[in-house]
Chains A and B, each alone.
Chain A
């Protein structure tokens, strides 16, 4: 049984259909990439899957149980890094990540946080308040929140955004390590090299079906 199963996911805004019957299966240790042009519904699909947007119809299960983002077991299992993450204005970068790691019961929270900060080149910004960071640094802090904690499923929306070439290379390496550790990764991406290097399955969104409606096509790939 797949860790994450999505069946018939549909999202309509009035007359406009953004997603029409999307089916996905994602197993532990695999990476599924949603690709497509701007506006094809990648982020909408992620939001509907993780429950931050209302599904018009369709079902999502995690480990065979209905996915309910309000349940603590779902929050313990799924790390979501999207653009809607905001921060406390009065806690430093380090304090945010320490809170995340400690709340998830990470044994050596401080070392884990320090390692992730080093990896993301944020060590020098550890004492900064989030609102004083640049947009790229805030994006990396968002990524860090998903990396300092244990998880079974990692959901990322365009994680390569605002990362330079070195940062993207690090991201590929880090996500590969997450996969090897048994974490399932679901991401939306515009970056072909990232997808090529990591994806076990690629789902193209926004490609018209035989009726001319927006649809999706799944392409299984050999493991990278």
Chain B
């Protein structure tokens, strides 16, 4: 019987990586010139798109300079980069918690993590990639928000560097908590989200934490930069040292999730990506405390949505907390455009409420198990989300009134905003995905289904359609037209199943 190879006698990560690189080069199918050409196209495209976006932002910023004259508007504008950066860090923390943040592909999990090679060396490049991606993910929206806020270039650049560093620290912290206390990442994310919400509420209340854009590099910003640099160094060092002891069970689930989500997004089907994430979360959770009892017949379908709300009140709380956004928009002088802002918030925050509709529409076999027609089941699945979104619509009535809609009109415009949000959510979650079995359209990128690109704006299209009457006429008449359009859209979606 042969002796098992000892760790000392096995290959190093560096040797392994060199071998893998050699194998890949041996199978290279594209010449170097083509790779350079592709890289040129990518860089050129990025520069063109980036310069166009930059131009739009600068123009918007100049227009804001002249239009935003009230104290409320200037306060809201000054708070914008801080709020956006904070939300971006919350998003990074949430994503990091879901992915690991350190993760490996299923192949690496099966073939390399089971070998005696140094796990720290194997995971280090992955950790650094994720941390760098997080820094970029936080920096990009902060750049845009800083440009819109009218902040001077030098402090804006410093703020972006600081927030990018905070994004990296967030990932390093999540990596530190990955094995021992992954819930700590969620806790930090929720605390930060709560603080951001309070800052938003203060802005809506006319008491922003920052009352005017930063125009010069003051010592506070330099101190922030120094603190961020120290935090990045310390957190990264600690996280890298901890990589060696990360168990395989904590790094492989994220590796399964990433290609699945990438595949869904590559087909421009965000609802499919949502499904993938939901299944991933359910698999990670594993079990729940079952709620029993409830009514019989079609009401049993509604009752399951009540069960969901009791089990997971987070979507409802997020939706109600979202009222702070139209309040801040009103303070910033949005006027009757606040109707659109309120509907948009209701749509985005309301999507998880119509999650059961996704399962009913995606799995016809599930509907067939019940003694009802498909449209009856789908209507029943809308009852509870409709009630919650109507509650949201009632909550925004005072905001809409403050934004310039008369009381007698606002009492109907508010609920109509809830109906519009529900309709958009239904369209997003139950719309038909790109159909590759239908005739394809020839493009430089190959054959694509006719509804491929449309699926990216799914939900937003219906939002614009149904909210437009209220934007044109924020009155009872406009609200009724919006409600009528929404009912037609929902019925088309539900009855064509």
Contacts and interface: CB of A to CB of B under 8 A. Distances in A.
Contacts of B308: 90-91
A100 B370 contact: yes
A110 interface: yes
Contacts of B371: 72-73, 75-76, 103-104
B282 interface: yes
Interface in A109-138: 109-110, 126-132
B340 to A, nearest CB: 31
B368 A72 contact: no
Interface in B431-467: none
Contact of A90 (B282, B289, B370): B282
B365 A86 contact: yes
A95 B290 contact: yes
Nearest to A82: B365
Interface string A98-111: 11101111100110
Contacts of A128: 286-287
B301 A103 contact: yes
Most buried by A among B286, B363, B368: B368
B497 to A, nearest CB: 10
Nearest to A78: B368
Interface string A64-78: 000001111101100
Contact of B292 (A69, A94, A145): A94
Nearest to A100: B369
A198 to B, nearest CB: 23
Most buried by A among B300, B303, B362: B300
A224 interface: no
A89 B292 CA distance: 17
A94 B300 CA distance: 14
Interface stretch (B81-89, B139-147, B317-325, B372-380): B372-380
A80 B363 CA distance: 14
Most buried by B among A69, A91, A110: A91
A70 B370 CA distance: 11
B4 interface: no
B359 A127 contact: no
B290 A84 contact: no
Given A79-B369, A103-B297, A110-B292, A91 B304 contact: yes
A75 B301 contact: no
Contacts of A93: 290
A141 to B, nearest CB: 12
Contact of A75 (B282, B304, B356, B372): B372
Contacts of A71: 373
B366 A85 contact: yes
B359 A89 contact: yes
B291 interface: yes
B472 interface: no
B290 A129 contact: no
B163 to A, nearest CB: 34
Nearest to A149: B369
Given A87-B366, A89-B279, A132-B286, A72 B293 contact: no
Interface residues of A, number: 42
Contact of B301 (A70, A86, A99, A130): A99
Contact of A103 (B312, B359, B364, B372): B372
Contacts of B373: 70-72
Contacts of A109: 296
A92 interface: yes
A223 interface: no
Given A90-B278, A90-B355, A129 B288 contact: yes
B369 A86 contact: no
A130 B283 CA distance: 8
B295 interface: yes
Given A103-B371, A110-B292, A132-B286, A86 B362 contact: yes
Contacts of B291: 95
B375 to A, nearest CB: 10
Most buried by A among B307, B369, B374: B369
Contacts of B283: 129, 131-132
B402 interface: no
A76 B297 CA distance: 11
Nearest to A69: B368
A86 B293 contact: no
B294 interface: yes
A52 interface: yes
B359 A86 contact: yes
Interface in B333-378: 355-356, 359, 362-366, 368-374, 376
B300 A102 contact: yes
B314 to A, nearest CB: 12
A85 B368 CA distance: 10
B192 interface: no
Given A75-B370, A80-B368, 9 more contacts: A85-B365, A89-B281, A90-B311, A91-B304, A98-B290, A99-B300, A102-B297, A104-B370, A129-B288
Interface of B: 278-279, 281-283, 285-298, 300-301, 303-304, 307-308, 311-312, 355-356, 359, 362-366, 368-374, 376
Q: Which 7 A-B pairs have the closest CB atoms?
A: A76-B371, A89-B282, A102-B300, A86-B363, A94-B290, A132-B286, A92-B290
